[in-house]
Amino acid sequence: MARNAAEPAALPFTRERGRRRPWLVAFRRYRVPYLFILPFFVAFAVFFLYPIGFSLSLSLHEWSGSGPARFVGLGNYRLLLRDELFWGSMLNATILFLIYVPAMTFLALVLASLLHSRYLRLQGLWRALIFLPNITSMVAAGYVFRLMLDTDSGLANRLLSFFGVSPIPWLDDVWWARLSLGLLLVWAWLGWNTVIMLAGLQTISPELLDAARVDGANAAQIFRRITVPLLRPQILFAVTLSIIGTYSLFTEPYVLTRGGPVQATTTPVYQVFTTTFEYAKVGYGAAMSYVYFAVIVVLTLFQFWALSRERPAGRGR
Amino acid sequence: MRRGWSAGALGLVLALVLAGCVGGGEPEQVSTPRPGAETKGQLTVWGWDAAIKSLKVVDAGFRQAYPNVTVKYVAKPPADTYRNIQLALSAGSGAPDVSVIEDSHLAQFVKLGGLADVTDLVKPHTGQVNAYRWKPATKDGRVYAMPWDSGPVAVFYRRDVFSKAGIDPESIRTWDDYYRAAKVIKQRTGVPMWPQPKARNDARLLEMLLWQQGLGYVDAQGNVVLDKDPRIQRTLEFMGRFWREDLSLDAEWWQDAWYKALGGGKVATIPEAVWMGTFFRDFIDPKGTGHWGVFKLPVWEPGGSQASNDGGSTLAIFEQSKQKDAAWAYVEYHLTRPESQLQIYEKTDIFPALETTYQAPFFQEPSEYFGGQKVRQLFVDVVRNIPEAGVYTSEYQEMNALLASQVQSFALGKQTAQQALAKAAAAIRSRTSRA
């Protein structure tokens, strides 16, 4: 590094070498900018790259978090193959995904279209209100949901009882608990998805919509035939994030349902957490996270492939 | 420049982690301290509010005996305390000198290997403490913690509900009697017999009922017995009758509805450890003097055991501590002296494991809160007879979670008791590599 600082004077030499190694020239020319972005990369290396590598090595060991680690090769992975809890948590996340993501994505599209409307007043206020849950502390929100959804004393069941509905076991039944968790997730993440869709809507040329209107298309037709196809990239992006988000859910089930009942809302990352930090099986937990990671990558790739296969007709390019 | 920094940072982290992995070293010997000014130290003690409040009861005396030892308490809920202990053990630094650790978590930490070997120090007290308490504190013949309070179990019952239903608690001898009483009480007063949630069951009552029979997750050899011993299935099926026939209160423990039911006479009994009585008096039913009575656990067969355990805690010294002499002075003063333990019991109602306290007149006195019943003596009778059982193993947290989810599924009517136990046993075997 001392040489880097001393050498700019020897310009011809640098140029000579630079022809063969352009990255070095770039590096020298942009030394200061690189210095400015350095902190991020250092932090990234220390807090992300290094743990990623370290946990890969951990996943090949049996280790309790302290004391000596025992190398077990693929033993942890072999054990995982027949671990019902592990596969159960994958299934839980998949079910949860099917429960809330389609509904949430559709709602976000509709909301974004409404917010985008020229005739809506106080747009800024509505946008802020819709986004507000996303910046609310999930622990606080989850706790409030838990109080509201309590079977005996929760607000939800008290309100329903006015209409003669018998108490619903919101958090005490396998399927209701999954649905309640889905509700909390839609509440928390709808705003985020709406903003993504809204950003996409703003890139659609108003002429297209005007032309459609002149041709006699109604609002529903415009939504289905123009808005949705043109928003394909945004929808893809939002759903991909939802996939990753669902499999790595932790705070929401931890606060709302504590993974229960009957482990029905134990998500993959929740499973990693209990295995690693409560059962002190650090190596096994690391192996789990690697398998989850692989599954998420595969799902994401599949989705990219599935959604980008057919190009929308109106797209021109 | 960039490479230098990041490589340095990486190296530093790596070195830290390696130090954490390798660290530990040879255990050093702790000597029995002599009271007085020679023993010096600034101790950090971890625990939770209730435990720390109790330990503080005798702190004034401790300061007199050891004027040069100061104590700093750090109070966090148990789950946070345990997580912090684990992190400190992983990091190789940051552990306190002493921590309160419950029996349910003790064996795990003993196995992890961060606790100081106190075998020789506790030796003089081996015979003075409830014998069954040494098991989770011991590994390969070495002892790593000093037992503090024990959790003898009995049945707390609402006197008003029983008299309204015309049931004499003395008449309940066997669990079948208990079940019949439950039906009568439900029929005559509409009150369920015990609080046992279905979807939120934590399997702790099942553990207590098994412990009463000397049973647990594993046998003395450490092999899983949940699906092997027919008594375990019988016990779970017994609990199942209360769910099927609507004799149990389906409310999650420590939640609103549960508190209201216990405080408002909406549940007839609760089989639980002695500390539940303390909780009744302190915050569940503080105005309920005379509401509650206690009777010993019904037996499974004539002449069977009436003693079981739930909970219990210890004080452990950490290998990382640089002042183990002072730390042991603290443990010795607080836990092994009958005067200290009696004082703590009288002031904060934490039931001692130290049997040398049991002769004190305080144990014979009637308990005002329990309507003048001699409850303390009853729990002494129970605690002396608690058998060893394979409940608090080094993998207790995991076993409990695996069993609880199967019990929940059974309680909800999704599977039979036999299926629940078979599945729980299979899961435990696969995840803990036990036979």
B243-296 pLDDT tens trace: 999 999 998 899 888 999 999 999 999 999 999 999 999 999 999 999 999 999
Structure confidence at residue B27 (pLDDT): 46
Angstrom distance (rounded) from CA B199 to CA B317: 38
What interhelical angle do A123-131 and A174-201 show, nearest 10?
Answer: 140
List pLDDT tens digits, range A207-232. Answer: 888 898 899 888 888 888 888 888 88
Distance CA B63, CA A171 (A): 50
The reported pLDDT for the residue numbered B8 is 41
B331 shares a domain with B267: no
Task: Kindly give the pairing relationship between strand B138-139 and strand B142-143.
Answer: antiparallel
| Residue numbers in A near B250 (CB within 8 A) | 172
Q: Which domain holds residue A216?
A: 79-315
**How close A139 gets to chain B, by Cα (Å)?**
16
Note whether residue A291 is domain-resident.
yes
Cβ-contact B309, B104 below 8 angstroms: no
CA B390 to chain centre: 14
If asked whether residues B139 and B159 sit together in one domain, one would say no
Q: Which residues of A touch B398 (CB under 8 A)?
A: 278-279
B100 and B161 in one domain? no
Q: Are residues B60 and B104 in the same domain?
A: yes
Identify whether A109 is part of a domain: yes
- For chain B, the average pLDDT equals 90
- Would the CB atoms of B1 and A1 count as touching at under 8 Å? yes
What band does A258 get if pLDDT is binned at 50, 70 and 90?
Answer: confident
pTM, 2 dp: 0.83
**pLDDT of the residue at B354:** 96
Positive or negative, the Cα torsion across B335, B337, B342, B347? negative
Number of domains observed in the structure of chain A: 2
Give the least confident one: A89-103, A118-132, A246-260.
A118-132
CATH number for the domain including A256? Answer: 1.10.3720.10
Contact criterion met (CB < 8 Å) for B6 and A42: yes
Confidence band for B34, pLDDT divided at 50, 70 and 90: low
B14 found inside a domain: no
pLDDT for A5-55, tens place per residue? 444 444 444 455 545 677 888 888 888 888 999 999 999 999 999 999 999
Quick one: B159 and B262 in the same domain?
Answer: yes
Residue A220 in domain: yes
**Nearest-by-CA chain A residue for B406:** A262
Partner-chain contact A277 B86, CB within 8 Å? yes
Residue B9 lies in a domain: no
The mean of the pLDDT values for chain A is: 85
Clarify whether residues A13 and A142 are in a common domain: no
The pLDDT of residue A114 is 87
| Domain, as residue range, for B347 | 26-150+311-357
Q: Quick one: B207 and B112 in the same domain?
A: no
A114 lies in a domain? yes
Query: Does B366 fall in a domain?
Result: no
Contact B257 A152 (CB under 8 A): yes
Is B282 a member of any domain? Answer: yes
Among B400, B408, B428, the strongest candidate for a mutation testing the A interface, having the largest count of A CBs within 10 A, is B408
Q: Please indicate, yes or no, if residue A211 is contained in any of the structural domains.
A: yes
Sign (positive or negative) of CA dihedral B88, B91, B93, B94:
negative
Query: Domain check: are B186 and B279 in the same one?
Result: yes
Q: How deeply is A96 buried, as exposed, middle or buried, from its count of CB atoms within 10 A (0-12, 13-18, 19+)?
A: buried
Smallest CA–CA distance from B10 into chain A, residue: A46
Query: Does residue B268 share a domain with residue B394?
Result: yes
Using pLDDT thresholds of 50, 70 and 90, give the confidence band for residue B100.
Answer: very high
Residues A207 and A283 both lie in one domain = yes
Q: Over 70: is that where the pLDDT of B173 sits? A: yes
Residues B259 and B324 grouped into a single domain: no
Domain check: are B298 and B317 in the same one? no
Å between A187 CA and nearest CA of chain B: 25
**Cβ of A262 and B414 within 8 Å?**
yes
Question: A179 and A244, same structural domain?
Answer: yes
Please indicate, yes or no, if residue B160 is contained in any of the structural domains: yes
CB < 8 Å to B90, chain A: 65-66
Number of domains in chain B: 2
Give the A-side interface with B, CB within 8 Å. Answer: 1, 4, 34-35, 38, 41-42, 45-46, 50, 54, 63-69, 79, 82-85, 150-153, 169, 171-174, 177, 260-263, 274, 277-280
Judging contacts by C-beta atoms under 8 Å, the chain B residues touching residue A180 are none
Please state the rounded mean pLDDT for residues B213-220. Answer: 96
Closest CB from A46, A69, A153 relative to B256 = A153
* CA dist., res. A191 & res. A218, Å (int): 26
CB count within 10 Å of CB A264 equals 25
Q: What confidence score (pLDDT) does residue B407 get?
A: 96
Name the nearest CA neighbour of A103 among A38, A187, A46. Answer: A187
In a domain, residue A65? The reply is: no
Do residues A187 and A133 make contact, with C-beta atoms less than 8 angstroms apart?
Answer: yes
Both B103 and B251 in one domain: the answer is no
Residues of chain B in contact with residue A82, where contact means CB-CB under 8 angstroms, are 430
Contact call for A261 and B200, based on CB within 8 A: yes
Element (H, E) at A128: helix A123-131
CA–CA–CA angle B166, B180, B235 (5° rounding): 140
Query: Quick count: other Cβ atoms within 10 Å of Cβ A78?
Result: 11
Query: What does the pLDDT average to over A135-141?
Result: 90
Rounded Cα gap, residues A204 and A207, in angstroms? 9
One domain for residues B138 and B157: no
Contact across the interface for B427 and A84, Cβ inside 8 Å: yes
Option in A45, A63, A169 nearest B6 (CB) = A45
Lowest mean pLDDT among A77-86, A112-121, A258-267: A112-121
Q: What is the mean pLDDT of the segment spanning B65-84?
A: 94
Residue B6 within a domain: no
* Out of B9, B22, B199, closest to residue A172 by CB: B199
| The pLDDT of residue B38 | 80
Given a cut of 60, whether residue A110 has pLDDT beyond it is: yes
Chain A residues in contact with B86 by the CB 8 A cut-off are 65-66, 277, 280
